[in-house]
Amino acid sequence: MATNFTVSVDEVSCPVCFNIFNNPVVLPCSHSLCKECLQQCRRSGSQNCPLCRRVCPPDTNPPINLALKNLCERFHLEQEAGGGGASQTLCSLHNEKLKLFCLVDKQTICVDCVPNLHAGHKCCHIKMAVEDHKLKVQSALRPLQEKLESLRQIRASNDRKKQHIKTRVQYTEQQIKKEFQKLHQFLDYEEKEKIAALRVEEKQGNLTLSRKMDEISKKMEDLLITVTAIEQELGRADVLFLQNFNAIMKRAQHTVEVPDVSEVLIDVAKHLGNLKFQVWEKMLGMVQYTPVILDPNRGSPSLLLSEDLTSVQEIEGGEHEYEFEWPILGSQGFSSGKHQWNVEIQTDYNQHNIRGALMHISQHHSPIKNV
C-alpha cells in the first residue's frame, strides 16, 4: 500500500555546504556529507569528520549512502511534481502553486494572493527571489567559509608544529644521550685508571713485603742457630762454661736488626683525597665552554646549526628572513641582573647587522634604548 510523507529539507541537507546532498557518502562514524565536500575537506588537510571530529583516514574510500541518495532523489521529485511535498509548494488559502514572492511581507504567495492580501505590494517571481536570497546567504556565508579555511590552515600549521616538536624532541633526546654517554665513558675510564693505580701500588707493596719476609726468614734462621748454640753452652760442665763465658756472652749480645715493615702501607689519602675534585677538574679539561649557545627556534631557515648549537653555516640558495646577514639569535643566558659587553664595530655594515639584531631582540624581550 502506498504511503505519502513529506521529506524535510534538514534531512537531506549536507552539513558542510548546506545544500541538498549530491552523491552522499557515509563516513566510518556514520555521518554523511557530499562526496565533493569530503574531497574539499581532504584537500584542505583535514582528516576529521566535520560533525563529530573523529578521524577519517585519507586512504579510505567511503561508500555511497544509497538510502540517503534515494531520499534526496525523492525530495527533488516532490519539489518538481508537487507530490508528497504539496503542503510546502501550494498556497494554504487558495491551493494554488506558490509562484511569487512578496518583497514587502517577505513571503511566498500564489497569483490569487496578490489582489487580496498583497495589493500594491511589489512582488517578483519566486526564482528571482530565490536567486537574490541565495546571493545574500552566500555573501553572509563567505566570511564564515574564509574563517573556516583560516581555521583549517591554523590546524594544519599546528599539526606541522606538533610533528616538528616531536622531531626536535627525538633529536634533542639523542644528543642528550650522546653527551651523557661521553660523560659516562669519561667517568668509566677515570674509575678504571684510579683502580689500576691502586692495583699497581698494591702489587708494589706486596713485592716489598715479600722481600722483607725473605730477609726476616733469613735472620730468623741465623738467630735460631745462635740461640740453639747458646742453649747448648748452658748445658756444658761448669769449668767449660766458665772458660767459654766471654765467647758465649759476646755471641749472646750480638744485635739483630729487625726489618721495618711499617712503611709498607697503601696511601689511602692519595687515592681518595679530593677524588671528586680531581675528576671534576679533569672533566673541565674535556668540556669546551661556549659563552653563546645559538637558539634554533629563533633563526633563519637559510642557516644550518651544528649539533652542539655553537656554530652555524649558511645553506646555499636559502631565503633570508631578515635584512641583515647571519640572522640567528643566542639562547637566553641571564634571567636577572645587569650585563654588558664591549663590542668593536669596524664598518657601517657591521653596525647595521648589530642594530638589526638589537631591534629583533627588543621585539621579543624588553625594549632596548639608544639603538
Q: Residue 59: inside a domain, yes or no?
A: yes
State the pLDDT at residue 80.
67
Residues 4, 51, single domain; the answer is: yes
Domain that holds residue 322: 294-332+342-364
State the cell numbers at 228. 740453639
Residues 209, 248, single domain; the answer is: yes
State the pLDDT at residue 196.
93
Q: Residue 146: inside a domain, yes or no?
A: no
Residues 3, 80, single domain; the answer is: yes
Domain count, the chain: 3
Q: Residue 140: inside a domain, yes or no?
A: no
For residue 52, what are the CA distances in angstroms to 70, 149, 304? 24, 18, 42
Q: Which of 34, 13, 15 is nearest to 23 (CA)?
A: 34
Residues 254, 301, single domain; the answer is: no
State the pLDDT at residue 141.
92
Q: Residue 151: inside a domain, yes or no?
A: no
Of 55, 88, 121, the residue at which a domain comes to its end is 88
State the pLDDT at residue 1.
39
State the pLDDT at residue 185.
94
Look up the pTM and report it: 0.46
Bridge partner residues of 123 (DSSP):
102
Q: Residue 231: inside a domain, yes or no?
A: yes
- Cβ atoms of residues 294 and 328 within 8 Å: yes
State the pLDDT at residue 61.
84
Q: Residue 127: inside a domain, yes or no?
A: no
Of 88, 115, 144, the residue at which a domain comes to its end is 88
State the pLDDT at residue 321.
46
Q: Residue 117: inside a domain, yes or no?
A: no
Residues 277, 222, single domain; the answer is: yes
Neighbour-count burial of 100, counting CB atoms closer than 10 A to its CB (0-12 exposed, 13-18 middle, 19+ buried): buried
Q: Residue 114: inside a domain, yes or no?
A: no
State the pLDDT at residue 59.
72
Residues 318, 280, single domain; the answer is: no
Residues 271, 315, single domain; the answer is: no
Of 34, 53, 88, the residue at which a domain comes to its end is 88
Collect all residues with Cβ–Cβ distance below 8 Å to 6 and sequence separation of at least 6: 78, 84, 85, 87, 88
> How would you classify residue 344: left for phi > 0, otherwise alpha for psi between -120 and 50, otherwise beta?
beta
Residues 214, 190, single domain; the answer is: yes
CATH for 12: 3.30.40.10
Q: Which of 322, 334, 333 is nearest to 298 (CA)?
A: 322
Residues 190, 278, single domain; the answer is: yes
Residues 265, 303, single domain; the answer is: no
Dump pLDDT digits (tens) for 335-362: 566 666 565 555 554 555 555 555 555 5
State the pLDDT at residue 3.
47
Residues 189, 267, single domain; the answer is: yes
First-to-final CA distance of the chain: 89
* pLDDT per residue rounded down to tens, the chain (371 residues): 344 556 667 678 888 887 888 889 998 888 888 988 888 888 887 778 888 888 887 777 889 888 888 888 888 777 766 544 445 578 878 778 888 888 888 888 888 888 777 778 888 888 888 898 899 999 999 999 999 999 999 999 999 999 999 998 998 899 899 989 999 999 999 999 999 999 998 898 889 888 888 888 888 888 888 888 888 888 888 888 888 888 888 888 877 777 776 677 888 888 888 888 888 888 888 776 555 667 766 666 667 777 666 667 776 655 544 444 556 666 665 556 666 656 555 555 455 555 555 555 555 554 444 44
State the pLDDT at residue 324.
46
Residues 13, 80, single domain; the answer is: yes
Q: Which of 142, 269, 259 is nearest to 210 (CA)?
A: 259
